[in-house]
Chain A
Amino acid sequence: MDLVLSILLGVVVAATPLAFAAIGELVTERSGVLNLGVEGMMIIGAIAAFAATYGTGSYIIGSLAGALAGAAMGALFGVLTLSLMSNQVATGLALTLFGLGLSALIGQSYSGVSLPRFPQVHIPILTDIPFVGPLLFGQDGLVYLSIALVAGVSWFLASTRAGLILRAAGENHDAAHAIGYPVIGIRYLAVMFGGACAGLGGAYLSLVQTPLWVENMSAGRGWIALALVVFASWKPTRVLGGAYLFGGVAILQLHSQALGLRVDPQILSMLPYLATIVVLVVISRDRMTMTLNAPACLGRAFHASS
């Protein structure tokens, strides 16, 4: 039972950074912007959160710093692609390279530095329930925030007027503009929200999962988050499911090895990606839903005069 619990707790830790980054990118993409710079925003969030926590001793300020730094990266992407009309794909890739380089530069003086353990929630009685307690009521605050964010985004997109406007900008920016909505402004907000979420994902990596700062520590998680958005066919709740599936397979393969099961780790390492492909194939079998799900204006630049 202890083993099962520790596996489940591990899954939560592995899934949370993915959930943060993916839900942010989902909002960005629903507004019609494709930002491939998730990895760069994540790593900037990771170093900003680590540095701020180290400087102030407060995990709340640290997490906020991670989100703000991510949002700043998002804003930079916005200036380049939305105001200066640069190509979104190329700019996104450049943002990743920029983020990796800048974080290594800032992080020079923070490698080898240690932080105390990230506090976990403890609710008397509830957290002490065997098994269920630590799993449901004993996580750190960021885990609950990630789940709340997904629920919030889900509600925002589906049930609010502002969410409808954001989706309109992503589905048909010309029509949204014609009705009088500020397409560029909406996209700026979406891109910055996406950056803030990616920054929080990075913060989780450097404050909770490892917890330390090393160069390149995001190690490709930003790209997995991008894949998750497609995997989830742009639906918030599926993003959460996908993140936990990815985290789950990743952790299970580590545990199965420690248990001495004779399965090649290479095959196990492939499983999350294999699962993505399988799910994609299953979803894509119905062409209609696939095309309906992807925002129609995804990746297309908007200019009011065109």
Chain B
Amino acid sequence: MNRVSRLFAGLGAALALGLAASGAVRADDPLKVAFVYTGPVGDHGWSYQHNVGRQAVEKAFGDKVKTTYVENVSDGPDAERVIEQLAAGGAKLIFTTSFGFMNPTLKVAKRHPEVKFEHATGFKRADNLATYNARFYEGRYVAGVVAAKMSKSGTIGYIASFPIPEVVMGVNAAYLGAKTVNPNIKIKIIWVSSWFDPGKEADAAKALINQGADVLMQHTDSPAAMKLAEERGVYAIGQSSDMADFGPRAQLTSVEDHWDEYYIARVKAVMDGTWTSTDTWGGLKDGMVVLAPYGKAVPEDVARLADETKQAIVDGRLKPFTGPLNKQDGSVWLKQGESAPDKDLLSMNFYVEGVEGGLPK
């Protein structure tokens, strides 16, 4: 049924845009910027943060822009339909914010050379299709350090969505960060095969806690696991946005995504006519990845260690994926002192040595 609701959402958006487009186009008309979200803007995670970025664009440019968004768009044909409608409806810049929108965005971009497209977390570009992403793994590495410091049981629970490089990278980074503190740290991973299903995320959190995890991390978008951690008296690391409202005691920190500055810069580039197809991958240094303020439970020495780790990454002294590092099967990935090139990270499909369990294919 989700498909049906998304179809209707798409039709609704198309209708709204069609009406908007029917007015006469004047030279000083506001620039139309559209956003396509995979979840609801109220998810308090991924889509929520993108929408914060959209609001920042509105605030920065006032009357000069007109933004629209379509939420709850599923991957595949539905996404293509929605993006096509937005492009045909007069949007001049379209941000599509889910990995699964990659091929649909590329297809529509080819049909609309006059429209600029920006796809988040993907790797396919064209003259009018740029890509952007954030180095969440840097934040997750620091979060791993905090998690391992705070864990008494020595087991971190990790709720993962889909085994794409983005998520696998996050698991590995968190584990490597945690291992610097406690070489015997264990990381238990549950793949829930969904970006957003609060009930299932809560069930997964329960399963992890019952199997001994006392710090939860997540790569899914709802605050359900945070809420559960609060209730069950364990700790958790937030995802995408500050989730302290859901776990005032439980949240140690949160790996936040900040798209505001990027979105504003890109909208400005379109207005100035300086927009080109680029590939942006910003991290802690660029302010695209931000760690939420440490929770009350985090003692000073842990906070200091986390800050030092973060600073080392910002300064470039520390690269989370640096050898000697083996893959889970024991084969050598990185030699002593060698850092993983971006292309290795972007195609990561294996666990590093020490992570237990099988990676779904």
Interface positions of A (Cβ within 8 A of B) = 2-3, 6-7, 10, 13-14, 17, 39, 93, 96-97, 100, 104, 107-108, 111-114, 117, 205, 209-212, 214-223, 250-251, 254-255, 257-266, 269
Decide: B190 and A10 in contact? CB cutoff 8 A.
no
Decide: A114 and B196 in contact? CB cutoff 8 A.
no
User: B331 at interface (Cβ–Cβ under 8 A)?
Assistant: no
Among A117, A211, A221, the one with the most B-chain Cβ atoms within 10 Å of its Cβ is: A211
Q: What are 26 contact pairs spanning A and B, CB under 8 A?
A: A3-B210, A3-B211, A6-B206, A14-B203, A39-B1, A93-B1, A97-B4, A104-B42, A108-B42, A113-B245, A114-B227, A117-B231, A209-B199, A209-B203, A210-B227, A212-B224, A214-B222, A219-B199, A221-B199, A250-B203, A254-B203, A254-B207, A255-B207, A255-B211, A260-B188, A266-B360
User: B194 at interface (Cβ–Cβ under 8 A)?
Assistant: yes
Q: What residues of chain B lie closer than 8 Å to A7, measured between beta carbons?
A: 207, 210
Q: What residues of chain B lie closer than 8 Å to A255, measured between beta carbons?
A: 207, 210-211
A39's nearest neighbour on chain B, judged by CB, is B1
The 6 closest A-B pairs by CB, nearest first: A262-B358, A6-B210, A215-B40, A265-B191, A112-B245, A215-B42
User: B49 at interface (Cβ–Cβ under 8 A)?
Assistant: no
Among A93, A205, A260, the one with the most B-chain Cβ atoms within 10 Å of its Cβ is: A260
Decide: B4 and A93 in contact? CB cutoff 8 A.
yes
Q: Mark B1-19, 1 if CB is under 8 A from A, else 0.
A: 1101100100000000000
User: B356 at interface (Cβ–Cβ under 8 A)?
Assistant: yes
Among A100, A209, A215, A265, the one with the most B-chain Cβ atoms within 10 Å of its Cβ is: A215
Q: What residues of chain B lie closer than 8 Å to A97, measured between beta carbons?
A: 4-5, 8
Assuming the contacts A260-B357, A262-B358, asked whether A104 and B203 have C-beta atoms less than 8 A apart, the reply is: no
Assuming the contacts A6-B206, A10-B203, A260-B356, asked whether A217 and B198 have C-beta atoms less than 8 A apart, the reply is: yes
**Cα distance, A39 to B1, chains bound together (Å):** 9
Decide: A114 and B202 in contact? CB cutoff 8 A.
no
**Cα distance, A211 to B203, chains bound together (Å):** 11
Q: What residues of chain B lie closer than 8 Å to A220, measured between beta carbons?
A: 1-2, 197
CB contacts under 8 Å to A, within B227-254, are: 227-228, 230-231, 245-246
**Cα distance, A220 to B207, chains bound together (Å):** 21
13 more A-B contacts (CB under 8 A) besides A209-B202, A254-B200?
Answer: A6-B210, A14-B203, A97-B5, A107-B42, A108-B42, A112-B44, A114-B245, A117-B231, A212-B223, A219-B198, A220-B197, A255-B207, A265-B360
Decide: A223 and B1 in contact? CB cutoff 8 A.
yes
- For residue A38, give the distance in angstroms from its CB to the closest CB of chain B: 10
CB contacts under 8 Å to A, within B196-218, are: 196-200, 202-204, 206-208, 210-211, 213
Q: What residues of chain A lie closer than 8 Å to B194, measured between beta carbons?
A: 219
Residue from B2, B43, B207, B360 within 8 A of A10 (CB atoms): B207
Q: What residues of chain A lie closer than 8 Å to B153, measured between beta carbons?
A: none
Residue from A3, A107, A112, A215 within 8 A of B246 (CB atoms): A112
B230's nearest neighbour on chain A, judged by CB, is A114
B199's nearest neighbour on chain A, judged by CB, is A209
Q: What residues of chain A lie closer than 8 Å to B356, measured between beta carbons?
A: 260
- For residue B19, give the distance in angstroms from its CB to the closest CB of chain A: 19
Q: What residues of chain A lie closer than 8 Å to B1, measured between beta carbons?
A: 39, 93, 96, 220, 222-223
**Cα distance, A111 to B43, chains bound together (Å):** 9
Residue from B200, B211, B213 within 8 A of A250 (CB atoms): B200
- For residue B83, give the distance in angstroms from its CB to the closest CB of chain A: 21
Residue from A3, A212, A254, A266 within 8 A of B190 (CB atoms): A254
A265's nearest neighbour on chain B, judged by CB, is B191
Decide: B203 and A258 in contact? CB cutoff 8 A.
no
User: B72 at interface (Cβ–Cβ under 8 A)?
Assistant: yes
**Cα distance, A156 to B219, chains bound together (Å):** 46
**Cα distance, A39 to B199, chains bound together (Å):** 14
Decide: A211 and B157 in contact? CB cutoff 8 A.
no
Q: What residues of chain B lie closer than 8 Å to A2, measured between beta carbons?
A: 210
Q: What residues of chain A lie closer than 8 Å to B44, measured between beta carbons?
A: 111-112, 214
User: B346 at interface (Cβ–Cβ under 8 A)?
Assistant: no
**Cα distance, A93 to B2, chains bound together (Å):** 11
Q: Mark B68-94, 1 if CB is under 8 A from A, else 0.
A: 000010000000000000000000000
Q: What residues of chain A lie closer than 8 Å to B40, measured between beta carbons?
A: 104, 214-216
Decide: B157 and A258 in contact? CB cutoff 8 A.
yes
Decide: B198 and A210 in contact? CB cutoff 8 A.
yes
Assuming the contacts A214-B198, A216-B72, asked whether A258 and B207 have C-beta atoms less than 8 A apart, the reply is: yes
Q: What residues of chain B lie closer than 8 Å to A104, measured between beta carbons?
A: 40, 42
**Cα distance, A110 to B223, chains bound together (Å):** 13
User: B361 at interface (Cβ–Cβ under 8 A)?
Assistant: yes
Among A14, A218, A254, A255, the one with the most B-chain Cβ atoms within 10 Å of its Cβ is: A254
User: B65 at interface (Cβ–Cβ under 8 A)?
Assistant: no
**Cα distance, A98 to B308, chains bound together (Å):** 50
Q: Mark B29-51, 1 if CB is under 8 A from A, else 0.
A: 00000000001111110000000
A211's nearest neighbour on chain B, judged by CB, is B227
User: B52 at interface (Cβ–Cβ under 8 A)?
Assistant: no
**Cα distance, A129 to B40, chains bound together (Å):** 44
Q: What residues of chain A lie closer than 8 Å to B196, measured between beta carbons?
A: 216, 219
B72's nearest neighbour on chain A, judged by CB, is A216
- For residue A16, give the distance in angstroms from its CB to the closest CB of chain B: 11
**Cα distance, A266 to B204, chains bound together (Å):** 15
Decide: B207 and A114 in contact? CB cutoff 8 A.
no
Decide: A214 and B224 in contact? CB cutoff 8 A.
yes
Residue from B2, B5, B199 within 8 A of A210 (CB atoms): B199
A17's nearest neighbour on chain B, judged by CB, is B199
Among B40, B41, B207, the one with the most A-chain Cβ atoms within 10 Å of its Cβ is: B207
**Cα distance, A156 to B188, chains bound together (Å):** 47
